[in-house]
């Protein structure tokens, strides 16, 4: 089962030093993605989704964040043990690319869109040739890149693609910018796209279009997607599998059907219960997210959990597989007969 994983994270611990002390933002997280699989990483704000995504990309803030334990195996290599030089050249922006949360501020405001895309193409293209210090590419190569970019922009259904390349980021709409971001994530023919809340900043009507597009393109190219979101509806729309995190711990991972149909973990159940339903009753989860400095011991959800017992506070439950594609970490999972 493990052998075919594209990305496999084991026992990942990440801590941030803050003015008030050390926050354990990721507390022994296990997580995996198979080739071509679209996995949703869901949880409330501050649960560690973004930290997990940034750990994979190697762009945690250098001054405050520290990976204290664990491994990130991508394509049979432990990224955490690789030379920064090799990651920058072969992994980041090449085999693993990124779609940011905010397409408004993630474009550099003072360069044309064309400049920014062509630079990515120049440094990250799968058929990259050698360059000088600032990487001035040969003209024949630039033309080849330009044609490829145009084709890709048409693929993400942008109108007037040559015109868009001459525009500055503030001259195109938010939805178009996010389409551009998706195109840019596909430039280097990656194996994995990390999409960090890619639709949060967009209008609801555009959200659905972008999600559909992302799913369709990933499917066509057999690219795996790690999709972080706090929007369960969005996860349901596009994911094959969903992993839930709570306060820096993963608690459950299951296929979309099992996740929404037969949630096992009490937190998942509460989370799904807090969705608006036809009955009009909105149920919140009692209590609040714990601070990550001196968090609850054991399973971090136990102070708010209706099923919790004394052993929940003593030690975190081991990984448990009720079925081959359903993982939970709970002593008292719900059962379905």
Binding site for other proteins (CB under 8 A): 54, 57, 59, 87-89, 91-94, 97-98, 100, 102, 105-111, 119-120, 123-124, 133-135, 168, 170, 184, 194
Task: Output 98 or 267, the one with its CB closest to other proteins.
Answer: 98
Q: Minimal distance in Å, beta carbon 214 to other proteins?
A: 17
Tell me the closest approach of the beta carbon of residue 132 to other proteins, in angstroms.
Answer: 12
Residue 39 β-bridge partners: 226, 241
Q: Shortest Cβ distance from residue 174 to other proteins (Å)?
A: 14
Nearer to other proteins, 79 or 244 (CB): 79
Minimum CB separation of residue 109 from other proteins in Å reads 6
Cα(72)–Cα(229) distance, integer angstroms = 21
Smallest gap, in angstroms, from Cβ of residue 80 to other proteins? 16
Q: Provide the minimum distance between the beta carbon of 72 and other proteins in the complex, in angstroms, as a whole number.
A: 15
Choice between 194 and 292, CB closer to other proteins = 194
Closest CB to other proteins among residues 138, 212: 138
Closest to other proteins by CB, 93 vs 290, is: 93
Nearer to other proteins, 174 or 303 (CB): 174
Closer by beta carbon to other proteins, 134 or else 159: 134
Query: What is the SS3 assignment for the chain?
Result: CCCCCCEEEEEEEEEEEECCEEEEEEEEEEEEECCCCEEEEECCCCCCHHHHHHHHHCCCCCCCEEEEEEEEEECCEEHHHCCHHHHHHHHECCCEEEECCCCCCCCCCCCCHHHHHHHHHHHHCCCCCCCCCCCCCCHHHHHHHHHHHHHHHHHCCCCCHHHHHHCCHHHCCHHHHHHHHHHHHHCCCCCEEEEECCCCCCCHHHHHHHHHHHHHHHHHHCCEEEEEECCHHHHHHHCCEEEEEECCEEEEEEEHHHHHHCCCCHHHHHHHHCCCCCCCCCCCCCCCCCCCCCCCCCCCCHHHCCCCCHHHHHCCCCCEEEECCEEECCCCCCCCC
* Between 92 and 241, CB nearer to other proteins: 92
Q: Residue 217 Cβ, how far from other proteins at the closest point, in Å? A: 17
Nearer to other proteins, 13 or 128 (CB): 128
For 187, the token pair is 């430039």
CB of 254 to other proteins, least distance (A): 28
Compute CA distances 242 → 79, 165, 290, 313, whole Å: 23, 36, 23, 26
Tokens coding 72: 């990130």
Q: How far is the CB of 141 from other proteins (least distance, A)?
A: 17
Residue pair 325/264 in contact by the 8 Å Cβ criterion: no
């Amino acid at each position: 089962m493990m052998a075919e994983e594209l990305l496999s994270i084991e026992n990942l611990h990440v801590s941030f030093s803050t003015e008030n002390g050390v926050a354990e933002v990721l507390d022994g997280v296990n997580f995996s993605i198979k080739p071509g699989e679209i996995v949703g990483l869901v949880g409330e704000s501050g649960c560690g989704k973004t930290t997990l995504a940034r750990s994979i990309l190697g762009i945690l803030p250098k001054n405050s964040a520290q990976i204290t334990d664990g491994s990130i195996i991508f394509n049979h290599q432990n990224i955490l043990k690789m030379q920064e030089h090799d990651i920058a050249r072969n992994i980041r922006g090449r085999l693993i690319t990124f779609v940011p949360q905010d397409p408004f501020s993630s474009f550099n405001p003072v360069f044309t869109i064309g400049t920014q895309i062509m630079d990515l193409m120049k440094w990250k293209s799968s058929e990259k040739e050698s360059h000088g210090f600032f990487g001035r590419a040969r003209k024949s190569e630039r033309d080849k890149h330009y044609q490829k970019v145009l084709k890709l922009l048409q693929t993400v259904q942008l109108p007037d693609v040559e015109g868009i390349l001459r525009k500055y980021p503030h001259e195109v709409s938010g939805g178009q910018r996010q389409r551009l971001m998706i195109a840019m994530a596909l430039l280097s023919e990656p194996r994995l796209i990390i999409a960090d809340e890619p639709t949060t900043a967009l209008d609801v009507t555009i959200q659905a279009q972008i999600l559909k597009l992302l799913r369709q393109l990933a499917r066509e190219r057999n690219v795996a997607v790690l999709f972080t979101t706090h929007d369960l509806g969005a996860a349901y729309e596009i994911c094959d599998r969903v992993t839930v995190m709570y306060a820096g711990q993963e608690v459950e991972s299951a296929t979309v059907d099992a996740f929404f149909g037969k949630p096992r973990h009490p937190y998942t159940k509460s989370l799904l219960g807090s969705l608006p339903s036809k009955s009009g009753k909105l149920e919140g989860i009692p209590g609040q997210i714990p601070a990550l400095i001196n968090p609850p011991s054991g399973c971090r959800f136990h102070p708010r959990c209706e099923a919790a017992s004394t052993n929940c506070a003593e030690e975190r439950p081991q990984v448990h597989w009720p079925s081959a594609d359903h993982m939970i970490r709970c002593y008292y999972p719900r059962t379905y007969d």
